[in-house]
Amino acid sequence: MAKSPPIEEQVLALNRVRADPTSDLTLDVIGKALRAKSNLLTAKAGELAGELQLACLLPQVEEAFARFFTDADKGCVAKTALAGSMEALKSDAEPLFLRGVRHVQLEGAWGGSSDVAVDLRATCARALARLNTRNTLPALTDLLADAHAPARAAAAQAIGHVGRQEGALPLRLKIRVGDPEPGVMAECLTAIMKILGAAGIELVEPFLGPAQPELSDAAAIALGESRLPEAYALLRARFDKEITVDRRRPLLLGMALTRRAESLDFLLTVIDEENAATSVHAVAALAIYKNDAAVRERVRAVVESRDDRAVSEEFQKRFPAAPR
């Protein structure tokens, strides 16, 4: 009997199914790979099933996912890929996602061991947020205390997507207690604003101050992305109270993110009238409008009127000319 080609070659060969993704041969090839013993081969098959939106293969993807909790899966590559495929195919297999969000897989690493299931837990957190059942918030609350920052950040983000009022409780606690990773705190601040709206401003506002400068951007972004008039009013008032360029910069970004007419008018005034350094930051903040021709023209007119080299260079960098 002919010897099978190396697993690496079989993985690369699977890419060929993209040429005819809905054919019976493609479905058969991917289905066979989903049943393979090799975690690498099954991982690739799972990725393709999700990427090509092969919903008819979802039962086989779910079966493979469950199997690799007992079969060898070095690096957790199969379970992570299969969970991503299940989410892409909108699986409703809640028990599998609950198992995945709690799975810890320690493997030997230089100087000790490493948990290779962090991405798996993050993916399952997003899936549970989509399903939004009575089991979702307890699982995400547990994950908010995970040993690894990416999993904690995913938990906070997922709680925000769930949007239920009771989800604000673990976020409030996390915000009060703090987290050593600014990225986790940033997700908590954004999520609390999504859930509480204007009522969340009092929880976010303290992080605009100098006590934790590493979180001032995150707080301003969370407020700005809420697009609430109360959030804009707060950012605008704080801008008038601050006197240093560094303290004003995140406030400019937050105001731009509100995408309110009055915020655009104010930032254009800043470009025109404030010192050059602050003006440069205002141009950078307005770069979120780089694909809006009308706003781009307004910014260009003010920059040209100011006729400052640093401000003009920032405009050219942030608002590159559209390709012809």
What's the angle, vertex CA 182, arms to CA 177 and CA 187, rounded to 5?
A: 80
115 secondary structure, DSSP code: E
Give the per-residue pLDDT at 209.
86
The model's pTM: 0.89
Q: How many residues does the chain have?
A: 324
The low-confidence residues of the chain, meaning pLDDT below 50, are: 1-2
Query: What type of residue sits at position 11?
Result: V
Dist. CA 154–CA 246, nearest whole Å: 29
Nearest to 188 by CA among 164, 220, 156, 166: 156
Query: What type of residue sits at position 23?
Result: S
Place of tokens 């937050």: 254
Query: What type of residue sits at position 199?
Result: A
Give the per-residue pLDDT at 1.
44
Domain ranges of the chain: 1-85, 166-251, 260-324
Give the per-residue pLDDT at 108.
82
Give the per-residue pLDDT at 20.
82
Give the per-residue pLDDT at 4.
66
Helical ranges in 135-242 per DSSP H: 136-143, 149-162, 168-177, 182-196, 201-204, 216-226, 229-241
Give the per-residue pLDDT at 322.
67
